[in-house]
Amino acid sequence: MSIVIKDLKKYYKVGDQVVKALRGVNLEIKKGEICCILGTSGSGKSTMLNLMAGLEKPTRGEIFIKNQDITKMNEKELAKFRQKNVGFVFQSYNLLTALTALENVSLPLTFCEVPKKEREKRAYKILSKVGLKTHVLHKPTQLSGGQRQRVGIARAFVGTPEIVFADEPTGNLDSKTSEEIMKLILEITTEKNLTLIMVTHNRDLARYADKVVYLLDGEVKKIENRNSESDIRRYEDETI
């Protein structure tokens, strides 16, 4: 399931000013590809992720996923599409504090009408895979930052997503934990042959990607496949 983006534009009006968050992006991401959208704050990377996930509507342009133009879908159709095809990993975890790890992870399955026993079975299995077998009944406040992100990863993969969007997935973590989390995300992504799209300002994360998209001022400045660390550092020095 490839993702094809054509002439994607997003403009916001702030007072009397028009902010051009995206200025005509064209991009193709192949099934099973790990794509990193790299840029500083204000580059348009989060806007791009939101558009690809159907969380916002573009000003102009098309986004094809599974040969369907999601920009033409209404909110009900988008919600159903995301439930069946998409998982999310957030920087701020976005866990419900009143629920246990098991309940947080199994929650998305309720919207897919999976029976409770099966929901808990799947949630327990994926929590065990991410190293939280003994923490399934812990609430977020009882977990470390790294553990909370592991819960977030488990929640993203508990269903049957074909695409996982990761928004600064290691932004709140130290370098050692960040590396552990990225390896975990990549292990599950590769094992299930999923498409992973992550947006970040951290060039260190780009080394995990098959494709790196350099975004600056709402425009794609460069696309590189399987970048080396030196390629990323050189380009960052020149533009970002």
- The separation between the first and the last C-alpha atoms of the chain, rounded to the nearest angstrom, is 31
pLDDT at 231 (0 to 100): 47
Q: What is the pTM of this model?
A: 0.88
- Strands 34-38 and 195-200 turn out to be parallel
Please check the confidence at residue 232 and state whether its pLDDT lies above 90: no
Distance CA(152)–CA(96), nearest Å, equals 11
Q: Where are the domains of the chain?
A: 31-58+73-239
pLDDT at 111 (0 to 100): 86
Please check the confidence at residue 228 and state whether its pLDDT lies above 60: no
For 76, other C-beta atoms within 10 Å of its C-beta total: 8
CATH class label, 31-58+73-239: alpha beta
The 10s digit of each residue's pLDDT in 168-226 is 999 889 889 999 999 999 999 999 999 999 999 999 889 999 999 999 999 999 999 87
Please check the confidence at residue 107 and state whether its pLDDT lies above 60: yes
Q: Tokens 């790196």 map to which residue?
A: 212
pLDDT at 1 (0 to 100): 62
CB 4, CB 52: distance < 8 Å:
no
Distance CA(195)–CA(189), nearest Å, equals 7
Mean pLDDT across the chain: 91
What contacts 151, CB < 8 A, 6 or more positions away?
A: 93, 95, 101, 104, 105, 127, 130, 132, 140, 143
Q: Tell me what the mean pLDDT of segment 92-116 comes to.
A: 94
Give me the residues paired with residue 216 across strands: 219
- 19-28, 75-84, 170-179, 227-236: range with lowest mean pLDDT: 227-236
Alpha helices in 34-174 (DSSP H): 45-52, 75-85, 101-110, 116-129, 145-157
Please check the confidence at residue 234 and state whether its pLDDT lies above 50: no
The 10s digit of each residue's pLDDT in 15-72 is 999 999 999 999 999 999 999 999 999 999 999 999 999 999 999 999 999 999 999 9
CB 102, CB 120: distance < 8 Å:
yes
Residue type, 57: K
Please check the confidence at residue 237 and state whether its pLDDT lies above 70: no
Please check the confidence at residue 233 and state whether its pLDDT lies above 70: no
pLDDT at 113 (0 to 100): 86
Please check the confidence at residue 122 and state whether its pLDDT lies above 90: yes
